[in-house]
Amino acid sequence: MKSNVKKNLLLSNISLKKKSFYHKKINNSILKLKSLLSEKQQHKKLSSLVHKSRVPEKQKDGFIIVYIIYFSFSATNTFLHVTDTFGNLKFRYSAGLVDFKGKQKKSRIQVITRFLRELRKLKISALKDKPIALHLNNVGSYKYFIIKNLKKNFFVRLIKSYETYSYNGCRKKKRLRKR
């Protein structure tokens, strides 16, 4: 009861113009908050619908990618990952899983041919005529071999190549001296 009296006293000291100004400000801020809340609720509904239905993501160019095939070469091993567009791992292979041991893992062409053979088996079951993105990490000159063989057997829509190894060891180019 005392708080109501204090509020009335505070409001009585303010002129009518200021009161209307403050009421307008408060009403505007309430409307903004309501609209933000409704937008947030609509966004939650849409995102939950997308995750429930598992609709593949649309890319910038307007086409849909269903699976991503990811080849990665490290200094001592070779990896192959197949994921859906949400990042859920479907299949995974490394050189060790296709019966290569020790220094054999570095023989890239043999490992790649085994990977491609395994992917052909997957094509029959999971990857039938579905649009695929191909991501290549540190594959170097084997890039063209991989792309050519995958385009024969799969519907490749997007190719991304990542080279994280520096070519010159991050050194500046040697300066020429004049004689």
What digits encode the pLDDT tens for the residues 61-109?
556 888 899 999 888 888 999 998 888 998 888 898 888 888 888 788 8
Residue 110 CB: number of other CB atoms within 10 A? 15
Would the pLDDT of 60 be above 70?
no
Strand, helix or coil for residue 109: helix
Residue 121 or residue 125, greater confidence:
121
Residue 56 or residue 173, greater confidence:
173
DSSP code of 64? B
pLDDT at 135: 94
Whether this prediction's pTM lies above 0.75 is answered by: no
Query: Which ranges constitute the DSSP H helices of the chain?
Result: 2-13, 16-53, 108-125, 143-153
Strand, helix or coil for residue 129: coil
pLDDT at 22: 84
pLDDT at 53: 46
Strand, helix or coil for residue 106: helix
pLDDT at 159: 92
Find the angle CA(132)-CA(113)-CA(99) to the nearest 5 degrees: 115
Please give the average per-residue pLDDT across 37-44, as a whole number: 76
Please give the average per-residue pLDDT across 126-141, as a whole number: 86
Please give the average per-residue pLDDT across 128-141, as a whole number: 88
pLDDT at 137: 92
Please give the average per-residue pLDDT across 45-73, as a whole number: 65
Residue 74 or residue 126, greater confidence:
74
**Is there a contact between 76 and 85 (Cβ–Cβ < 8 Å)?**
no
Residue 142 CB: number of other CB atoms within 10 A? 17
